[in-house]
Chains A and B, each alone.
Chain A
Amino acid sequence: MLSIKNLHASVEDKEILKGINLEIKAGEVHAIMGPNGSGKSTLSAVIAGNENYEVTEGSVELEGEDLAELAPEERAHKGVFLSFQYPVEIPGVSVTNFMKTAINEHRKANGKEEMPANEMLKLIREKSELLEIDRKFLSRSLNEGFSGGEKKRNEIFQMAMLEPKIAILDETDSGLDIDALRIVANGVNKLKNDENAVLVITHYQRLLDYIVPDFVHVLMDGKIVKSGGKELALELEERGYDWIKSELN
């Protein structure tokens, strides 16, 4: 599904990612953990095609296709979805209107007609029920005045609507209380199937109690320094990151 090879990326000439290798297959859940400043968010931004980051070496492929030349929206059309750590506000644009625009742009890119209104309504109803979202919420301006939990739930709602191949959840657990965390995680679990994949980027282990990863990778100083199964997350929770550092030295 997603194949990252020797990925180097920098921002303002400062190298952040220093050779990342990662293979994610359909149906898998991967978690990337690491201390602050290790490059976790940079990795998600680079996969999504954020132009503030320059890829200096290596490649990111989605189902065998190199993403390097593709604009962020083109990557989205191919099935890359990023759940933002800090979703932005767009005043005056309702969640529904935003989703309608996004879905129709996806359809246009894939040579399809715009989605008829009744079909759109049905889809919105179905997905909002799945994620226990109050319909009133959908008429509010995108992220404007949303609580931390609402913002993250809205991200997962968008993911449900767009049905991406690879969903990257960047620090989705930050700012969530335990109830909100459970709802968001349940949503992700419901959306997961054999044909898509999830990459969870997190600082803490607690989200992984709910979204159980098949693989856990430790990112330090721009490199994946250790990989393992879900038990690695527990070990990190217990022992912190220092022991890995010393293991490396």
Chain B
Amino acid sequence: MAKYTEDDLKVELETKEYEYGFYTELDSETFPVGLNEDIVRAISLKKGEPEWMTNWRLDAFRSWQEMIEPEWANVHYEKPDFQAISYYSAPKKADPNKTLDDVDPELLAMYKKLGISVDEQKKMNNVAIDIVVDSVSVATTFKKTLAEKGIIFMSISEAIKEHPELVKKYIGSVVPPKDNFYAALNSAVFSDGSFCYIPKGVHCPMELSTYFRINQAGTGQFERTLVIADEGSYVSYLEGCTAPSRDENQLHAAVVELIALDDAEIKYSTVQNWFPGNKEGKGGVYNFVTKRGLCEKNAKISWTQVETGSAITWKYPSCVLKGDNSIGEFYSIAVTNNHQQADTGTKMIHLGKNTKSTIISKGISAGKSQNSYRGLVQISSRAENARNFSQCDSLLMGNNCGAHTFPYIESKNTSAKIEHEATTSKIGEDQVFYCNQRGIPTEKAIALIVNGFSKEVLNKLPMEFAVEAQKLLEISLEGSVG
């Protein structure tokens, strides 16, 4: 009988292509490459922003110029040339006052390819969706339904104009413009993103969703998301990301800020599937993202992420547990294959009393990839009775990949209880053979084992996205076990 060898697997792996690697011919307006104060001003002008916003951007830009790129992450890549990137690209037909019927048919065709037909979305219950292509938001569904509850869900550009008091108050309040190199860059040049405000005591009746897409070549995408849950409110938010396959690397540097006021709860789920580069490690998206949430009294923020894409991932969704009794959670599945590198984890900053945090991280490495978990649990001196539980599990496939765990713990209060558990395992030939013997083919067996490994995190995703995430895991790891 023919033996299924590593070579066969490699061939199979090579034939598998990134599903979302198409490029749509859209009539776009793209700024010349390069970055200086004039470009920052031009972006702000293009978007018709008030002066305070322009100045805010310029301040960020000036700080950014003084900063240097961080090098502490366990990733190796050629640094992007920030002067070779265009900082603004917009499909020309996007009109800020659009309705779905006005959307460019080519754009609609692209959404269909992405499997998120807007027509369908319109009819589908419980998911309101905002779609950001390259730099601008092109469609927000369900705006009216949400408005009836007083919920604001729109692009951040619109929010700057329509709700300046909210934006002004909260933007940069959790991730200050000078927070880090990429956050400063984003603050200077962010082009669009989503804005969401849930009024006091309102339980948002549907999932809010943003879909990000990089389309144009040689552009960076810098979205800015701001979610504010007012006292006693609840919202579940999801973002999805794809990009075309390109030879050169594309830069993505987003900032997401969450604010959960007293007794509020925010669930933020991400399914990240940016182009990971080809099998030789050429191309792919550099994903340098700053995500952070602030919890006031009794508030709760849960980050759930399924990270399967990007050539480089640098991302640490964090919670600042400022209010007493507040809760932070981080559930993560990070998959790396071929030459992908991921350095991801979380920071849980316990400031208030009786604050609790939970970290469940599942790393899956295949091919020649490197997958690192990096997490910080910090307990301040006044955080009486703080609790943390961290669990970091790694699953390895084959002999050429790596899994790394870098947990940092800083406790300044003796009443703190911090637990950390970590495991590393390998998908065994015996597991696969056992499944085979029960009639389950190898590919399916791996999917089953990986899904079992990731189950605790998958369970945290909203139902419809859990199914999508499972499929994504399967696709990302096809043919990756020997």
Chain A residues within 8 Å of B, Cβ to Cβ: 48-52, 55, 68-73, 76-77, 80-82, 84, 87-93, 97-98, 101-102, 105-106, 109, 141, 158, 162
> Known pairs A89-B431, A109-B439. 11 more at Cβ < 8 A?
A51-B4, A51-B433, A55-B1, A71-B441, A72-B433, A76-B436, A93-B455, A98-B438, A102-B439, A105-B438, A106-B439
Whether A69 and B439, one on each chain, are in contact in the complex, defined by CB atoms closer than 8 angstroms, is no
Q: Which residues of B contact A (CB under 8 A)?
A: 1-4, 428-431, 433-442, 444, 448-449, 451-456
Contact A105 B434 (CB under 8 A): no
Give the contacting residue for A50; candidates B433, B440, B442, B449; CB below 8 A. B433
In the bound assembly, the distance between CA atoms of A86 and B100 in angstroms comes to 59
Which residues does chain A contribute within 8 Å of B2, judged by CB atoms? 69
- Cβ of B448 and Cβ of A90 under 8 Å apart? yes
Contacts of B433 in A (CB 8 A): 50-51, 72
Sample (22) of A-B pairs whose CB atoms are under 8 Å apart = A48-B437, A49-B437, A51-B4, A55-B1, A69-B1, A71-B1, A76-B439, A80-B437, A84-B434, A87-B434, A88-B428, A88-B430, A88-B434, A90-B431, A90-B452, A91-B453, A92-B453, A93-B449, A98-B448, A101-B444, A102-B435, A102-B439
A92 touches B455 (CB 8 A): yes
On whether A92 and B454 interact (CB within 8 A), knowing A101-B440, A102-B440, A162-B439, the answer reads yes
With CB as the reference atom, state the residue of chain B lying closest to A109: B439
In the bound complex, what is the Cα–Cα distance between A208 and B395 (angstroms)?
A: 41
Give the distance in Å from the alpha carbon of A84 to the alpha carbon of B1 in the complex: 22
Contact A141 B439 (CB under 8 A): no
Task: Tell me what chain A mostly uses at the interface: helix, strand, loop, or mixed.
Answer: mixed
Q: Which residues of B contact A84 (CB under 8 A)?
A: 434, 437
Chain A residues, CB < 8 A from B455: 92-93
**Given A69-B2, A72-B433, A90-B431: A102 and B452 interface contact (C-beta under 8 Å):** no
Contact check, B441 vs A92: say whether CB atoms are below 8 A apart: no
Determine the residue in chain B with the shortest Cβ distance to A142. B452
Instruction: Give the CA-CA distance A32 to B429 in the complex, in Å.
Output: 26
CB distance from B25 to the nearest CB of A (A): 39
Q: Which of B3, B440, B451 has the most CB of A within 10 A?
A: B440
* Minimum Cβ distance to chain A for residue B438 (Å): 4
Contact status B448-A93, CB under 8 Å: yes
Contact between chains at A73 and B439 (CB < 8 Å)? yes
- Residues of chain A lying within 8 A (CB to CB) of residue B431: 88-90
* Cβ B452 vs Cβ A93 within 8 A: yes
CB distance from B420 to the nearest CB of A (A): 19
CA distance A84 to B394 in the complex (A): 27
User: Min CB distance, A193 to chain B, in Å?
Assistant: 21
Bound complex: CA A109 to CA B434 (Å): 18
Instruction: Say whether A72 contacts B448, CB under 8 Å.
Output: no
A49 touches B1 (CB 8 A): yes
Interchain nearest-CB distance for A146 vs B (Å) = 14
B362: nearest chain-A partner, CB-CB = A92
Q: A51-B3, A101-B444, A105-B444 are in contact. Are A92 and B456 (CB under 8 A)?
A: yes
CA distance A89 to B427 in the complex (A): 11
Across the interface, which residues of B come within 8 angstroms of A88, CB to CB? 428, 430-431, 434
A72 contacts across to B, CB distance below 8 A? 433, 436-437
What residue in chain A is nearest B447 (Cβ atoms)?
A101
How many Å lie between the Cα of A69 and that of B4 in the bound state?
12
Contacting residues, chain B, for A76 (C-beta < 8 A): 436-439
A87 to chain B, nearest CB (A): 7
CB of A168 to closest CB in B, whole Å = 10
- CA A192 – CA B2 in complex, angstroms? 33
Most buried by B among A48, A90, A102: A90
Q: In the bound complex, how far is the Cα of B2 from the Cα of A72, in angstroms?
A: 11
A50 to B437, CA, bound (A): 9
The distance in angstroms between the C-alpha atoms of A109 and B444, with both chains bound, is 14
Among candidates A70, A71, A77, A91, residue contacting B452 with C-beta atoms closer than 8 Å: A91
Hey, which chain B residues are within 8 Å of A69, CB to CB?
1-2
Q: A55-B1, A141-B452 are in contact. Are A71 and B436 (CB under 8 A)?
A: yes
State A200–B428 Cα separation when bound (angstroms): 26
Are A93 and B1 also in contact (CB < 8 A) when A73-B439, A88-B434, A102-B440 are?
no
Contact of A90 among B436, B437, B449, B456 (CB under 8 A): B449
Interface centre among B437, B441, B448, B449 (most CB of A within 10 A): B437
**Residue among A68, A70, A98 with the highest chain B CB neighbour number at 10 A:** A98
Q: Is the CB of A158 within 8 A of B3?
A: no
Question: How far does the alpha carbon of A69 sit from the alpha carbon of B452 in the complex, in Å?
Answer: 31
A77 touches B1 (CB 8 A): no
* Residues of B with C-beta under 8 A to A51: 1, 3-4, 433
The CA-CA distance from A141 to B452 in the complex, in Å, is 9
Closest to B449 in A: A90
Closest 5 CB pairs of A and B: A92-B452, A93-B452, A72-B436, A76-B439, A92-B455
CA distance A214 to B428 in the complex (A): 37
Q: Report how far A158 CA is from B235 CA in the complex, Å.
A: 43
Instruction: Tell me the smallest distance from the CB of B482 to a CB of chain A, in Å.
Output: 11
In the complex the two chains form, what is the Cα distance from A162 to B439 in whole Å?
9
* B3 cross-chain contacts in A, Cβ below 8 A: 51
Write the nearest CB–CB distance from A144 to chain B, whole angstroms: 9
Instruction: Give bound CA distance, A88 to B431, whole Å.
Output: 6
